[in-house]
Structure 1
Amino acid sequence: MFGAGGRAGRRAVAEAVTRGHRVTAVVRDPDRYRAAHGEPGAGVSLVAGDVTDAGSVAAVAAGHDVAVNAAARMDVPAREFFTAAARALLAGLERAGVPRLVMVGIGTTLETAPGVRVMDAPGFPEEARNFSEGHAAELAIFEAEGGGVDWVMMVPPPTLLDDEAPRTGRYRTGGDQVLPAAEDAGTLSYADLAVALIDEAENPKHHHRQIAVAP
């Protein structure tokens, strides 16, 4: 699990462990992780790794059946980080012999109409554009160069996710477009995004594309 220290990553680790999987939680600084969150529980090995370095990816991924990536950095330009991570994951996982990669995307790369992304809308907030463009560049690399790894990008709605709501196990999936709101569905939680990620890791249903996820 790359990006195991973030909100999506921590919940994906917990979801996988609950299902009986052994998880390698990859973070940049294990000591910082322990200071913030304590020691990981049983079934979790906490290791240092760099998702933007193919050698590091290969080393921590060796011997695993599937990789999950929720890594992000706010102290590095988004396009630089996400494109480097895309190429390192593709090269490193192929080198390690890990066939499957499940990733977290961003809702602003989903379409509101064919060929029109959320981030293409007039008046799209400039402060969000850089991060969105980084994710879009990452997706473009996977679409163009990702044939050697069976990847999928699970994309939550273009809204803030609920960081407190408990796991319900319920979610919907679609395609490249924002899913219409379901009546009384509320906001997608990080806990249920984690369910979607681990479901897809266990039972691959989508391949070489981004998939909208919604409550």
Structure 2
Amino acid sequence: MRITLFGAGFVGAALAGEFAGRGHEVTAVARRSGGDVHDPAAVTAAVREADVIVSALPPLDDQGGLPASTRILIDAALAAGARLGVVGSSAILPVSTGGPRHADTPDFPAFLADRVDAHDRTLARLRSAPAGLDWFYLAAAGEFGQFAPGTRTGHYRSSTTSQVQDGSGRSRIGVADYAIAFADELEKPTVHRGWLTVAY
């Protein structure tokens, strides 16, 4: 499978390693290597032969953040006939089926509001994409990031209705296992034009 990956940060690096380790052809596009999702020529060249385009880009930046980059990658995926996968946040998902979003619970940190809004607008943009685009939004667990990198276990659980939590009510996953889940979804798709989330 030919995969073009935008973003080479904490999550992007883990995804690139997992994809390459499974024998996929990975083209990584990052600003520091001369690539830029806001450069139309660079994007066109990077995705020309891609089967899948993956966005591991930040929710916030000085050029419109994830909503803006997703709009560009939607157009690129349509032109290339590629599937689009986006690294997402479970903050915008319900904590239980039919329940409130994680971001709307009392203890959710207020300083993350801008990031939540960016992910909300990104998912809305994906949902309004032309019907010909096959996309998925894979939300990480509630506890996920460089502050909790975790260790690789090879295990995870997934849901398309609510955040995944363990017996103590925690939603968490390490970056290596998130990468496994993402690669599994690429190889054996379970969701088309929708979201899913993973945790232990």
TM-score calculated relative to the size of structure 1? 0.80
Please state how far the C-alpha of 1:64 moved relative to its aligned partner: 1.4
Task: State the Cα deviation string for residues 26-71 of structure 1 (Å, max 9, x = none).
Answer: 10111xxxxxxxxxxxxxxxxx332345554332111111111111
Counting only pairs closer than 5 Å after superposition, residues 101-140 of structure 1 correspond to structure 2 as 101-113=84-96, 114=98, 116-122=100-106, 124-140=108-124
Counting only pairs closer than 5 Å after superposition, residues 136-215 of structure 1 correspond to structure 2 as 136-161=120-145, 163-182=148-167, 187-215=172-200
Counterpart Cα distance in 1 of 2:99 and 2:41: 36
Counting only pairs closer than 5 Å after superposition, residues 15-94 of structure 1 correspond to structure 2 as 15-30=18-33, 48-72=34-58, 74-76=60-62, 80-94=64-78
Please state how far the C-alpha of 1:9 moved relative to its aligned partner: 0.7
Are residues 84 and 201 of structure 1, via their aligned partners in 2, closer, same or farther at CA, if it must alter by over 3 Å? same
Q: Is the 8 A contact 1:54 1:87 kept in 2?
A: no
Please state how far the C-alpha of 1:109 moved relative to its aligned partner: 0.7
Q: Is the 8 A contact 1:54 1:91 kept in 2?
A: no
Corresponding letter in the other structure for 1:11: A
Cα-Cα RMSD: 2.4
Please state how far the C-alpha of 1:104 moved relative to its aligned partner: 0.9
Corresponding letter in the other structure for 1:117: R
In structure 1, runs of 5+ residues without a counterpart are 31-47
Counterpart Cα distance in 2 of 1:194 and 1:106: 14
Q: Is the 8 A contact 1:146 1:208 kept in 2?
A: no
Counterpart Cα distance in 1 of 2:79 and 2:181: 27
In structure 2, runs of 5+ residues without a counterpart are none
Q: Is the 8 A contact 2:85 2:135 kept in 1?
A: yes
Are residues 164 and 82 of structure 1, via their aligned partners in 2, closer, same or farther at CA, if it must alter by over 3 Å? closer
Are residues 166 and 125 of structure 1, via their aligned partners in 2, closer, same or farther at CA, if it must alter by over 3 Å? closer
Counterpart Cα distance in 2 of 1:29 and 1:86: 20
Are residues 176 and 82 of structure 1, via their aligned partners in 2, closer, same or farther at CA, if it must alter by over 3 Å? farther
Identity of aligned residues (%): 32
Please state how far the C-alpha of 1:107 moved relative to its aligned partner: 1.6
Aligned residues: 194
